[in-house]
């Protein structure tokens, strides 16, 4: 078994950074559905600005709101306005075809990559 990429939201823009929250990343429900992520799923988040990489879990945000909110300690590492990549992985015996979602500057679905 290998850990392989299953889901990716590419070039999302952080809309809010909420240090007061307990933890996680809040993502627009439509993007979660299109990428195949699950609520509570562990994800890797990478900042395209600083290169910071962190792990957290998914919380569902309002559908078609464009919300991508870094919560808790993650908000200290990735700030509002930063462009990020959000990735989910799966243990698999064979290669997977990941659902790679490209979004625009307002975090609206553009196309599958």
Distances (CA, A) of 14 to 28, 83, 96, 106, 110: 11, 6, 28, 9, 17
Q: 42-57 pLDDT, tens per residue?
A: 999 999 999 999 999 9
What is the per-residue pLDDT for 22? 78
> Among residues 21, 47, 57, 65, which one is catalytic?
57
Q: Where are the domains of the chain?
A: 2-98
Q: Does domain 2-98 have CATH number 2.40.40.20?
A: yes
Q: 58-111 pLDDT, tens per residue?
A: 999 999 999 999 999 999 999 999 999 999 999 999 999 999 999 999 999 999
> Does pTM top 0.85 for this prediction?
yes
Structure tokens at 9: 């939201």
Q: Is 24 a catalytic residue?
A: yes
> Among residues 24, 35, 47, 65, which one is catalytic?
24
Show the DSSP H helices in the chain as ranges: 29-35, 74-77
């Amino acid at each position: 078994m290998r850990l392989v990429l299953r889901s990716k939201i590419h070039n999302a823009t952080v809309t809010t950074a909420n240090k007061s929250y307990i933890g996680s990343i809040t993502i627009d429900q439509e993007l979660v559905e299109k990428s195949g992520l699950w609520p509570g799923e562990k994800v890797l988040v990478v900042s395209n600005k600083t290169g910071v990489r962190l792990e957290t879990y998914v919380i569902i945000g309002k559908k078609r709101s464009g919300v991508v909110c870094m919560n808790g300690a993650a908000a200290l590492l990735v700030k509002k306005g930063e462009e990020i990549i959000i990735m989910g992985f799966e243990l698999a015996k064979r290669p997977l075809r990941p659902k790679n979602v490209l979004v625009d500057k307002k975090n609206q679905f553009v196309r599958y990559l």
